[in-house]
Structure 1
Amino acid sequence: MLQTIIKVFRYLANLEWTERHDKECDFCDHTKLEVIITYDDLPEIMAVENHTKAGKNHWLIMPIEHIRDIENLSPAHLELLRSMDDLKHRLLNKHDPDVPPSEIHSGYHRGRWQLIWNIYYPDTISIHHLHLHVIVRPKLFKKWFKYPPWLPLMWKSDEELLREVEMLASKGK
């Protein structure tokens, strides 16, 4: 228990309260990725198996093009998000067709966003390249603390993000 408290304290103490700019992106350099899943009819996206699984299966679905985080999305990205959603369903149908939706946790870590002046909400993303987490039968601790549906400052479900971008697109913004 004490080890867990120490880990949580170190994590919180090392959060960055200003915008972090990575010099190079691990997801843009595909040589660093292990198992890459692609479909010829979805050339703008790919998926990888997360090396630190938070559940039975854990994939990261991402665009080939570098987009920093969900805070940088606009209506122009609507088709990209729909393609990412399509790949999510393909992976689930292929690997876990009998798992009920209640046992699938999917969404995005929130990127940095400005609170006031030059102070930002702490950046919780380890790699700043837009990526959708798809976790089948998530481990309870990871779901509630690393991928927390209860904390919208850190996590946004993929369904919610897709609805928001669709609404922006319908308003012509």
Structure 2
Amino acid sequence: MDNSRSAAESRVAEDGELRGPDLARAALQAAREQAAAKRKKSGAGPAGGKVRTRRRRGWSGAGPDDRDPQPLGKLASRIAKDRGWTDNLTGGQVFAKWGALVGEEVAEHTKPVALSDGELTVQAQSTAWATQLRLLQRQILKRISDGIGRDVVKRIKVQGPAAPSWRHGPRHVPGRGPRDTYG
């Protein structure tokens, strides 16, 4: 091996240029020295800690990844949270689960109308059911807080049955209203 080295050195001395395998060895050695200097400067490498490798990401592999298909419910809840819709959706659960929250018998004779600022407006089918609902108000609030969550509904406003409106259309004539037609 020493003979081949000395022959290469003599060739360099004669020509001034490297050729063939000697040129490849010299290029490899120069690259190694540059890499060692770079590692020493950055503190990385076998002696300096972690070796950082740059790898293009391909498929997600065995572990979970953001690029994996996501369940629709998870995506919908993330969109609702990002856009600030969670309060409205939680309030909507009161309307959707009304029968389960208050019981089927009460749900047959009442219906939730509006939810605004923690106040649930409930319309009863008759004045008797409106009175009954006012008496059951605390139990209904507790059931709603257990079923949906605390502070969704803070108070309940009970309305009796609504009288029919005789105002139809954008224009109407003031007067006695429906009493005129009954004589």
TM range (shorter): under 0.3
**Higher Rg:** 2
Higher fraction of helix: 2
Taking structure 2 as the reference length, what is the TM-score of the superposition? 0.23
